[in-house]
Amino acid sequence: MRIIIAPAKKMRMDTDNLAPVGVPAFLPKTKMLMQWLQGLSVQEQKVVWKCNDKIAAENRERFASMNLEGALTPAILAYDGIQYVYMAPSVFEDGQFAYVQEHVRILSGFYGVIKPMDGVVPYRLEMQAKVDVAGANNLYDFWGNQLYREVVDESHVIINLASKEYSKAIEKYLQPSDRYITCVFGELEGGKVVQKGVYAKMARGEMVRFLAEVNASETEDLKAFSGSGYCFDANRSTEHVYVFLK
């Protein structure tokens, strides 16, 4: 069973607490993206990053001096968004680190697929960004089916805890033999399930933590999740969509 999650825009460096184990699988392609971004003008970078002047300047400086093989932070500690705050990997026990390293894969526009303990550096490049690299004009084409092939394991079970921006990079290549389950964390409004971004990110992080705590190995294990007041709703769930309601 593999669990896919999205990265976070906000990142940090932490080279003191936990050493990384290896580097991302597609580092040569990451270097291609890095070199392409380094060759862009300030305005061109800003268009790619879709950000304000302050964030653009910060990331231009990052890319100008970027070393993909030095001063690395384990990915699970490098990302600092809401999902990762609620996952709380900084207080994981050894068994939980081992679990996420085996089962969790972080999808990334810049790195492709990352294991939680892979060493990464801070960057900015969302999967929806437009690029002009190796004949591709977007990152979905640039990565192609490589991300799917790196994620899927012998079980052919994929648990989707990623945002649509990232999960679509996998969904396009799913095979009939795959079991792909998307978790929805929502509330009932007017009889409809409504998923709210911030709360969904919180729940996705807590779900990863829960699965690591119970050493989940079967899809049935997901149904016991009760973080942030959510409960599995069997009536609104299907074989491919697990709905959790507050």
Question: What's the pLDDT tens digit per position in 14-38?
Answer: 878 789 999 999 999 999 999 999 9
User: What digits encode the pLDDT tens for the residues 207-218?
Assistant: 999 999 999 999
- Whether 191 has a pLDDT exceeding 90, the answer reads no
pLDDT of 237: 97
pTM of the entire structure?
A: 0.96
Mean pLDDT of the chain: 95
- Partner residues linked to 181 by β-bridges: 159
pLDDT of 15: 79
- Cα separation of 209 and 5, whole Å? 12
pLDDT of 44: 94
Q: Please, which contacts does 228-233 make with residues 24 or more away whose CB atoms are closer than 8 Å?
A: 228/86, 228/185, 228/199, 228/202, 228/203, 230/185, 230/203
